[in-house]
Amino acid sequence: MIKKLVNPLDLSIQEYQHLFETGKTIYESPQNFTQLANSKILATLFYEPSTRTRMSFESAMFRLGGKVLSMADTSSSSVAKGESLADTIKTISNYVDIIVIRHPKDGSAEVAVKYSSVPVINAGDGAHHHPTQTLTDLFTLYMYRGKVSNNSFGFCGDLKYGRTVHSLITTLARYPEVNYYLISPEELQLPQHIKNSVLEVNPEATFNETSQMEEVLPNLDVLYMTRIQRERFFNEDDYLRLKDTFILDKNKVNMMKKDALIMHPLPRVSEITYEVDDDPRAIYFEQAKLGMYIRMALISLMLGLNTNR
């Protein structure tokens, strides 16, 4: 039984592959899975705003026939009275079979694991990790390309605070023939500790760093855009100075390979213009849809449910 998914490397590469295959089966015949999680309850505990992650988890659980308890707004719970995360988790894990938690502090999901009697899924802890977004991203590649390996990835935007980027870059290190292009302003470069975790998994990995997206766009198989994250800045002036550094518009998309993929964990602010949405290479809304199916596979795996149909 898998007790936690806090860091994307908590699951093996074989477990990822199993999840992609299960996710695809569920995507193709969801009617076969509508009773799978009957009588099971999932809790979503969100201490930070969310649209896709929380609702896709909840929809995933409902589509498996399970039930959901949701704490989406901490102002209406005992958190507002000063209850500690440890006490909240100890209590809630008596009520449910699995917990999904998002929290603004790095490391909080690991704290939740410590106090929970049921499996815990990290839905984003500060600027640290967001493993189910990585599952979504890799599942999208699996569905579009049939594989994750042999790709040149460009990561663009806030590579310093972007937890989706940290998790995806770390996990890609396990796959062969992956090239990293890191596109960011100097202030928002990928932290050294993330580079180190990549090098631990793959000592051969190299990083091409640039602040000019035009330079590298023609090389990319996948462009992973991210927003500059206002809520993680200490200083509003820095945010305002950096927020529009990279804007992907039609002209820039025309510089990319004909079969490249443009991904984004969403929400988008201004970093991709709306005209790009119509380009067949822009797959971010499909990516958000696939996130629900891979979460159905993940919930099933972590609850120990038999998905062989």
Burial of 80 (0-12, 13-18, 19+ CB in 10 A): exposed
> Counting contacts by CB under 6 A, is residue 52 touching ligand NCD?
yes
Cα-Cα-Cα-Cα torsion 241, 245, 248, 249, nearest 10 degrees, comes to: 70
Q: State which of positions 62-121 bind ligand NCD (CB under 6 A).
A: none
- Measured CA to CA, the distance from residue 94 to residue 233 in angstroms comes to 36
Binding mask 202-241 for ligand NCD (x = CB under 6 A): ------------------------xx-x------------
- Stretch (H or E) spanning 286: helix 284-302
- Show Cβ contacts of residue 29 under 8 Å, excluding neighbours closer than 6 positions: 309
- Binding mask 111-130 vs ligand NCD (x if CB under 6 A, - otherwise)? -------------x-----x
**What's the Cα-to-Cα distance from 120 to each of 3, 49, 124, rounded to whole Å?**
7, 19, 12
Among 26, 184, 265, 282, binds ligand NCD (CB under 6 A): 265
Residue 108 contacts residue 86 (beta carbons within 8 Å): no
Q: Does residue number 53 form part of the binding site for ligand NCD (CB under 6 A)?
A: yes
Q: How far apart are CB 294 and ligand NCD at their closest, in Å?
A: 13
For ligand NCD, the closer of residues 113 and 228 by Cβ is 228
Binding mask 145-164 for ligand NCD (x = CB under 6 A): ------------------xx
Query: d(Cα 133, Cα 33) in Å, to the nearest integer?
Result: 22
Query: Shortest Cβ distance from residue 225 to ligand NCD (Å)?
Result: 10
Instruction: Specify the residue, 88 or 133, whose C-beta has the smaller distance to ligand NCD.
Output: 133
Nearer to ligand NCD, 65 or 185 (CB): 185
3-state secondary structure (DSSP) of residue 174: coil
Q: Which residue is nearest to ligand NCD (CB)?
A: 265
**What is the three-class DSSP state of 40?**
coil
CB of 105 to ligand NCD, least distance (A): 14
* Closer to ligand NCD by Cβ: residue 48 or 209: 48
HSE of 206 in the Cβ direction (CA atoms, 13 Å)? 3
Enumerate binding residues for ligand NCD (CB under 6 A).
Answer: 52-53, 124, 130, 133, 163-164, 226-227, 229, 265-266
